[in-house]
A = this chain, B = another copy of it.
Amino acid sequence: MSDIASGDLGPWLSPEDLALVRRKVPILYIDALPVRVDGRGELEEVGLLLRGTEAGTISRALVSGRVLFHETVREALERHLEKDLGPMALPRIPLSPLPFAVGEYFPTPGSPFYDPRQHAVSLAYVVPVVGDCRPSHDTLELTWLTPAEALTPEVLGDMSEGHASLLRQALAHVGRLR
């Protein structure tokens, strides 16, 4: 999650307040893996965001972002999917609020799931999208990959350890991790 733009933290949190909050409590996030399904509803491809990092390199990531004050988890999913995939992506937010995984990220170097900015806890979902995806924002590109392509070391190596793990867990959850 280290590649999340800090711009999405809401207008009512000043930089000072945000810095304070991030030193005081775990911050709640959502992660979403967009997927394409075929006419019968079976998973065909997963969507990964290609974005630039602060270090100037390229990384792949799930859709990810903070849950704002007074916002439901469902609304946060909708907002971040629209922000990253554009307004015509037509995501099908899951009926059940149960995540397929709970990610825990700590600002301690050496943590398996490391986030230098904060202690974050993320609820992760698989979300079919049926419309037109047009990433804008700070996202460079959205690439669609088959499960087999997504599970290659090259692709996994472009992801943070946390997101690579969530991708594997997502494919396990839908019965597509062979």
Interface residues of A (CB under 8 A from B): 12-13, 17, 20-21, 23-28, 35, 37, 40-43, 66-74, 78, 92-102, 104, 106, 108, 112, 119, 121, 123, 126, 128, 161, 164-165, 168-169, 172-175, 177-178
Chain B residues, Cβ within 8 Å of A102: 73, 97-99, 123, 175
Taking a contact as CB atoms under 8 Å apart, the answer to whether B72 and A175 are in contact is no
Chain B residues, Cβ within 8 Å of A68: 25-26
Chain B residues, Cβ within 8 Å of A99: 98-99, 102
Given contacts A72-B104, A177-B168, contact A98 B98 (CB under 8 A): yes
Chain B residues, Cβ within 8 Å of A25: 13, 21, 25, 27-28, 66, 68-69
Taking a contact as CB atoms under 8 Å apart, the answer to whether A24 and B35 are in contact is no
Chain B CB within 10 A, most for which of A67, A68, A73, A173: A173
Partner of A17, one of B20, B67, B168: B20
Quick one: copies of this chain in the complex?
4
Taking a contact as CB atoms under 8 Å apart, the answer to whether A41 and B92 are in contact is yes
Chain B residues, Cβ within 8 Å of A161: 178
A77 and B85 alpha carbons, distance in the complex (Å)? 31
When C-beta atoms are compared, the residue in chain B nearest to A75 turns out to be B40
When C-beta atoms are compared, the residue in chain B nearest to A35 turns out to be B95
Taking a contact as CB atoms under 8 Å apart, the answer to whether A78 and B40 are in contact is yes
Taking a contact as CB atoms under 8 Å apart, the answer to whether A104 and B173 are in contact is no
When C-beta atoms are compared, the residue in chain B nearest to A173 turns out to be B96
Chain B residues, Cβ within 8 Å of A43: 95
